[in-house]
Every structure is written in structure tokens, then in C-alpha cells.
Amino acid sequence: MALLRVAVLARPGLLRWGWMGILLLAAVSLKLSAQTAIPLEYQVKATFLFNFARFVDWPAKAFPDADSPFVIGVLGEDPFGSYLDETVRGEKVNGHPLTVQRYRRVNEIKVCQVLFISRSEADRLDQILAGLRGRSTLTVGETDDFAAHGGMIRLAPEKNKVRMRINLDPVKAANLAISSKLLRVAEVQH
């Protein structure tokens, strides 16, 4: 900012535009610093969660009403901060407004279409997935053994990228249908 001030002082005719530039730069840097507080990995994972809403089909019974919100939930410690909320703000999927809910325990979950199960819940994973059995909730996690416990989609960091590993058996058991577009870019397990 000191360089901008020097440039503005050197050219008095640009004073008004210079201060507007400084204000704009300050606003942009504040927004960027807020976004960079969330690691890039979780920004990518938030985008995945949002896109799952578009590439997975839920049965009608997954929504209490035609205008019920589409819920993306986070169970356990929230690694997304406000980034996930910002990602879905103002978005709709098939007429359902997207919303984010946070849960501490699986029994708090009433209606949830996509559930991100945080790494903090690794020790309770069997209990959590058993508590969701029979629901049309897409479970997403990041622990190494997520699929082995019956989780549906594992988001795994690999060589500076986030890869999807989809476990089709629990997806089918929950009456969900994943788009072939999503299956083509994922590692699929049966």
C-alpha cells in the first residue's frame, strides 16, 4: 500500500482514483485472507460437496416437502469454516435451496442429503454409519478406511489433488443414483 500512496502523491490528479484503488485493494486482500484461512484442500472438498448435490439423484422421500432445503451436513469438527456456507449461498438444486448444517452427534440429524463425516469422528465411524442405515444420505469422509466401514465417497488427497473413491454398494442400498459423469472421474469400488 505504501507504493500506491507514493504513486498517488507523485501525480496529484490521480489522488481520487488512487484512494479508490487503495480501498479496492484493501477489500480484495481482506476477502482473500478470509478465504486462505481455510486450507486449499478443504476449499476443494467444499466444492465437491456442492457438486455432489448436482450429480447424485435422491428419491422423493429424501425431502419432507417439495420446497424443503437440500441439506449438506458436517458431523464433528468443521474443517471448512465459513467457506462451505459461502460456496452454497443462494444456490438451488432441483428447486431446493442449499443449506449447511453442523452436527455433533448422529442422533441430531433429522434430514440431511449429503453428510461430510469429519476426521474427528474416525473412532465412531461404525456407530455413525449404522445410525444412518436406511436413510438416503450420501456419506462423504476422508479417513483411510472410510469405504471399508461402509462409507460412500472418500475424498482422498493425492499428489496435490483430491481424488474420489466411490463405494457403490452402500450408495445403492441408500437408493441413491450417481451420475455416470461423476463415476468416470472417480475410482469405483463394488
Over residues 100-151, the pLDDT tens digits come to 999 999 999 999 999 999 999 999 999 999 999 999 999 999 999 999 899 9
Q: What distance in Å separates the CA atoms of residue 109 and residue 38, rounded to the nearest whole number? A: 25
Q: At what angle do helices 2-10 and 15-36 cross, to 10 degrees?
A: 170
Residues 6+ apart with CB under 8 A from 135: 62, 174
Please name the residue that has the C-alpha cell 461423476: 182
The CA distance from 39 to 18, in Å, is: 33
pLDDT at residue 30 is higher than 90: no
* Residue 132 grid coordinates: 444412518
Helices (H), the chain: 2-10, 15-36, 40-55, 83-88, 125-132, 168-173, 180-184
Mean pLDDT taken over the chain: 83
Comparing 19-23, 174-178, 179-183, which segment has the lowest mean pLDDT? 19-23
Mean pLDDT of 26-50: 67
Give the H or E element holding residue 107: none
Residue in the structure block whose three cell numbers are 481424488:
163
pLDDT band at 159 (very low <50, low <70, confident <90, very high): confident
List of residues 6+ apart from 99 with CB closer than 8 A: 69, 70, 71, 72, 88
What is the reported pLDDT for 5? Answer: 30
Residue 57 has pLDDT above 90, yes or no: yes
Query: What is the pLDDT averaged over residues 181-185?
Result: 94
pLDDT digits (tens, 9 = 90+) for 62-81: 999 988 999 999 999 999 99
Full-model pTM: 0.80
pLDDT exceeds 70 at position 52 = yes
